[in-house]
Amino acid sequence: MTGFGARLVEAVAARGNLCAGIDPHPGLLDAWGLDRDPGGLEKFALTAVDVLAEEVSVVKPQSAFFEAYGPPGVAVLARVVEHARDRGALVLLDVKRGDIGSTMAAYTAAYLGEAAPVRADAITVSPYLGFGSLAPALGAGEGLFVLARTSNPEAGGLQNALLANGKTVAQSIVDEAARCNAGAAPLGDVGVVVGATINPGELDLTGLNGPVLAPGFGAQGATVDDLRRLFGADLPGVLPASSRDVLRYGPDPVALRDAVRRTQASLTG
């Protein structure tokens, strides 16, 4: 099967680089007039995926908001992932898994590969047990987005800490991902997560040869100009992620679709 990086390049060429989050936050369920129960979750998530997965290259369900409802919520998540892929979108499942040995292998088996019960095209992973702990997932041949420099304020002290070699922790993660992507064309399968609200110049991404997931666009305050200052004018390989800024226009499918298209247009204007 074609690698994730190549599939992503093809999808972005066809549908643009917006990554649309599907985050069934309790406040959004309230705003849509839905109950905070598995039925409300299902209505929200399937309405969102029916619209978003036909408009964008990548959808990003946030697993925690589904898991909060127990087994019924996980069943809804599985349906969302399946429906999104059926409608032509790549699915980046935001699970932020990270562990060692057989446990990491089990996480990988849960989400990546043909036999996975909830089969995504890529997942988010945490390298903070050491980048090498991700080896089972790195060998799966699917997409990974490794947390490098995230947008939450609490992250700076750890991720900008200096190592003995003079690099920051975040830069060392980017460099490890770059090694995984060396020689891949048109793009490697191992991406990094870099918040759209960080300061320009904090990271050198020039050798990554992989995608960048950029949360913080929209509701968290980052603008298109911020994205271009941080990642370059044409946003090569960058997936700006937006969820609440788009989802707040539901439950009307027409309004939701219009919001997605406006956001897409702002990234290319």
pLDDT, tens digit (0-9, with 9 covering 90-100), for 115-149: 999 999 999 999 999 999 999 999 888 999 999 99
Q: Over the stretch 177-221, which tens digit does the pLDDT of each residue have? A: 999 999 999 999 999 999 999 999 999 999 999 999 999 887 677
Q: Per mean pLDDT, which range of 96-100, 116-120, 126-130, 150-154 is the poorest?
A: 150-154
Q: What's residue 21's pLDDT?
A: 97
**What is the distance between the alpha carbons of residues 93 and 223, in angstroms, rounded to a whole number?**
24
Helices and strands of the chain, counted as H and E runs: 12, 8
pLDDT at 1: 63
pLDDT of residue 257: 98
d(CA 14, CA 57): 8
Q: What is the predicted pLDDT for the residue at 140?
A: 83
Identify the pLDDT of residue 215. Answer: 94
What pLDDT is attached to residue 235?
A: 86
* High-pLDDT (> 90) share of the chain, %: 91
The domains of the chain are located at 4-268
CATH fold for the domain made of 4-268 = TIM Barrel (3.20.20)
Mean pLDDT of 64-77: 98
Asked if 28 and 248 touch (Cβ cutoff 8 Å), the reply is yes
Q: Kindly report, residue by residue over 26-44, the tens digit of the pLDDT.
A: 999 999 999 999 999 999 9
60 is catalytic: no
Catalytic residue among 43, 60, 96, 167: 96
Please state the pTM of the whole predicted model: 0.96
Q: How far is CA 183 from the centre of its chain?
A: 23
What pLDDT is stored for residue 141 in this prediction?
81
Q: Which residue has the tokens 């007039």?
A: 33
Instruction: Count other C-beta atoms under 10 Å from residue 266's C-beta.
Output: 16
Strand partners, 212: 192, 238
Segment 73-88 shows an average pLDDT of 98
Mean pLDDT for the chain?
95
| Cα–Cα distance measured from residue 239 to residue 17, given in angstroms and rounded to the nearest whole number | 5
